[in-house]
Amino acid sequence: MLGPRQEAQAALFYEFSLEDHVPQDHLLRSIDRFVDLSSIRAHLADYYSHTGRPSVDPELLIRMLLVGYCFGIRSVRRLCEEVHLNLAYRWFCRLDLNDRIPDHSTFSKNRHGRFRESELLRHLFETTVACCIEEGLASGQRMAVDASLIEADANKQNSTPKEEWDASSIDPADAPRAVREYLDTLDEAAFGGASEV
């Protein structure tokens, strides 16, 4: 016998728990056991104004970024959509069904602003490595480097011919921030300890 036609009818009240809908073997559950972001607010306190509208919780932004890294979501716009739709992502980010997802522009402003100025991501990386050493997951004695070859995104039409290139005309102060940070790191004692740099 043909069953009755399903028609969506809005209920007046719902009883719903995200906790019940995230499988116990989900990747985010195993990650959540070890994620401790309690130090973020104290680390960033000096980078927030004491007046104005309350900000988006920085822990939420970091949890969303972790979701993006774990599941290969490279676009921040796409990440916001996925966290909006996926119950497990909402659970990991401590969002209820009614909670709004931050706008994608919030990530850019924080990542390139206060997260960079406060070196929050470095702080999180170092505390994570320290926890791994404490738990016996890493020794802290050796380091692995990915030596993948990546083709440069260089435009040969805009490059300077080798015979016209003059190294003495380069001003190090004009180098982009990423280049300056890389060169500063190479000059540090940790990298220059084995040989002269």
Give the model's pLDDT for residue 152. Answer: 63
Q: Say what the pLDDT of residue 17 is.
A: 86
Token pair for 69: 């890294």
Q: How far is CA 196 from CA 130, 144, 182, in A?
A: 29, 21, 17
State how far Cα 46 lies from the chain centre: 20
| pLDDT tens track, the chain, 197 positions | 666 777 777 777 778 888 999 999 999 999 998 888 888 888 888 888 888 888 888 899 999 999 999 999 999 999 999 999 999 999 999 999 989 999 999 888 888 888 888 888 888 888 888 888 888 888 877 777 776 666 666 666 666 777 777 777 777 777 777 777 777 777 665 555 545 54
**pLDDT value for 197:** 43
* CA pair distance 91, 150, nearest whole angstrom: 36
State residue 184's pLDDT score.
75
The CA-based diameter of the chain, rounded to the nearest angstrom, is 87
Of the candidates 93, 55, 94, the one whose C-alpha atom is nearest the C-alpha of residue 71 is: 93
pLDDT of the residue at 161:
72
Position 154, amino acid: A
Cα–Cα distance for residue pair 121/114, rounded to 1 Å: 10
pLDDT of residue 83: 96
Quote the CA–CA distance of 69 and 81 in Å, as a whole number: 15
Q: What is the pLDDT of residue 166?
A: 76
Q: What is the DSSP letter of 112?
A: I
148-157 tens-digit pLDDT = 666 666 666 6
